[in-house]
């Protein structure tokens, strides 16, 4: 049976149900290459966890909106959670349907250049192409739409067609680099740490780039990032996308998983020596320990008793990271967004003490983070979900791109080394945007880094 015939038959079956729900979720099992459809510029959300550790190995490409929920201000996560719970009450799940809402939450309440996005927003797509652990086409349709199965089937068939991949090589150049401002902020942070006002603060650097790359082209360039989750969220003419190595929280049935990611070593081609150095350097070990302790304490406050494994090294294209997996049993009734609220931002993103670090960040960083370093991911009707931290990302608009990278500052940090860490973290995005080695950012000592 053809794709069109399968979809049309599924919609007709759903139309015969006698539910009074406003929306009906339908699943059409089908094996296909969902990842190839990620190249479509009209996808509202892309989630690709096939290369990530500890996640469900799914790839989801979502189109349109059947409904959406938002939150604003300091209570934005709780508002979005409550609104999502209410929304699910108006959705009938037909046999086999397992719809997801996709969205993102801002780092703090300032959106800055992310004005086309919301502080917290999760959308229930009309069409989701899903591959990996489960291969299907998911539909969420209104009662009125169920009366037009042929039109729905035609729409789905068109969306499932992967566009031809061209060989366009993007060209980009740095317009404004925040490296100098970042270095000054690090100097200020070290003075505050010396004065006992802070133990740690994570500072971000923003780089404005002129590039002719498309958001789908950038996403394709990031596909080979082992250990990372590719994400892309589009609103209006803007797209925010990247490939992050950091899981914030995973809630699946009876289990909770998270991880501490803190401590970085640039790759220079001597993998074993670099990993050993990272596992033994006191500055990185101390920074990492704070993050582990803060995450486990945050989970405890939410009623989750967690255990953690030993720290290990995760290797990405241009850097190594220290990573500690943390696991726990899921308390009855715990929702993934409850745990996001308990954890965000961790010291790996903000600092310690939390409130003082966030105040320092707001004062020291000239460009608000918006969605950068905020949670991004999915949630389902049972409160399951996966949320990662939106790192190694860039905001893309017709006027250009804004790429972000950050580093954790603690006692003993060296200004130039922290700036070099952000250099290394920017390289993957720079390559995807067509910024060459001759740009301001790449440093000679990083040119031997792995691809």
- Evaluate whether 347 touches 10 at the Cβ level (below 8 Å): no
Catalytic entry in 136, 246, 259, 365: 246
Q: Which two tokens mark 409? A: 């500052």
- Evaluate whether 306 touches 299 at the Cβ level (below 8 Å): yes
Catalytic entry in 200, 274, 287, 365: 200
Q: Is 440 a catalytic residue?
A: no
Q: Is 283 a catalytic residue?
A: no
* CA dist., res. 47 & res. 55, Å (int): 11
- Evaluate whether 207 touches 178 at the Cβ level (below 8 Å): yes
* CA dist., res. 252 & res. 6, Å (int): 29
* CA dist., res. 105 & res. 345, Å (int): 11
- Evaluate whether 364 touches 203 at the Cβ level (below 8 Å): yes
Q: Which two tokens mark 426? A: 């920017």
- Residue 219's nearest CA partner among 378, 52, 391, 394 is 394
* CA dist., res. 401 & res. 366, Å (int): 16
Cα–Cα distances (Å) from 170 to 66, 166, 215, 230, 241, in that order, read 34, 11, 11, 19, 16
- Residue 81's nearest CA partner among 132, 120, 126, 27 is 120
> Collapsing DSSP states into helix, strand and coil, what is residue 364?
helix
* CA dist., res. 275 & res. 450, Å (int): 14
Q: Which two tokens mark 98? A: 């397992």
The residue count of the chain comes to: 451
* CA dist., res. 360 & res. 365, Å (int): 8
**Which sequence positions are flagged as catalytic?**
200, 246
């Amino acid at each position: 049976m053809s794709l069109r015939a399968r979809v049309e038959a599924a919609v007709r079956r759903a139309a015969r149900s006698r539910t009074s729900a406003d929306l009906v979720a339908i699943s059409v099992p089908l094996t296909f290459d969902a990842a190839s459809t990620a190249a479509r510029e009209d996808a509202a959300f892309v989630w690709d966890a096939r290369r990530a550790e500890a996640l469900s190995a799914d790839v989801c490409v979502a189109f349109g909106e059947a409904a959406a929920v938002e939150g604003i201000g300091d209570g934005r996560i709780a508002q979005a959670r409550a609104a999502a719970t209410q929304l699910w009450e108006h959705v009938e799940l037909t046999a086999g349907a397992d719809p997801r809402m996709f969205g993102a939450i801002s780092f703090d309440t300032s959106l800055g250049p992310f004005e086309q996005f919301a502080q917290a927003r999760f959308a229930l797509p009309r069409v989701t192409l899903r591959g990996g652990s489960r291969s299907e086409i998911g539909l969420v349709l209104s009662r009125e739409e169920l009366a037009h199965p042929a039109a729905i089937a035609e729409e789905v068939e068109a969306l499932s067609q992967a566009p031809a991949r061209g060989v366009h090589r993007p060209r980009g150049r740095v317009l404004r680099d925040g490296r100098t401002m970042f270095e000054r902020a690090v100097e200020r942070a070290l003075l505050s740490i010396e004065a006992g006002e802070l133990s740690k603060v994570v500072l971000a650097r923003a780089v404005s780039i002129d590039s002719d790359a498309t958001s789908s082209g950038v996403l394709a360039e990031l596909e080979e990032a082992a250990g990372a989750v590719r994400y892309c969220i589009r609103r209006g003419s803007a797209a925010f996308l990247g490939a992050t190595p950091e899981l914030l929280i995973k809630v699946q049935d009876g289990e909770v998983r998270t991880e501490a990611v803190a401590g970085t070593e640039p790759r220079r081609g001597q993998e074993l020596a670099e990993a050993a150095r990272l596992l033994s350097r006191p500055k990185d070990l101390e920074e990492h320990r704070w993050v582990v302790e803060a995450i486990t304490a945050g989970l405890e406050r939410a009623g989750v008793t967690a255990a953690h494994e030993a720290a290990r090294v995760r290797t990405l294209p241009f850097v190594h990271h220290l990573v500690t997996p943390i696991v726990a049993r899921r308390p009855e009734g715990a929702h993934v967004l409850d745990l996001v609220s308990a954890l965000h931002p961790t010291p790996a993103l903000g600092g310690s003490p939390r409130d003082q670090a966030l105040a320092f960040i707001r004062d020291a960083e000239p460009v608000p983070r918006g969605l950068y370093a905020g949670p991004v991911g999915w949630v389902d009707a049972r409160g399951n979900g996966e949320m990662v931290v939106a790192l190694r990302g860039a905001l893309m608009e017709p006027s250009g791109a804004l790429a972000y990278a950050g580093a954790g500052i603690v006692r003993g940090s060296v200004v130039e080394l922290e700036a070099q860490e952000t250099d290394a973290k920017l390289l993957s995005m720079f390559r995807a945007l067509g910024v060459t080695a001759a740009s301001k950012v790449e440093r000679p000592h990083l040119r031997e880094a792995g691809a």
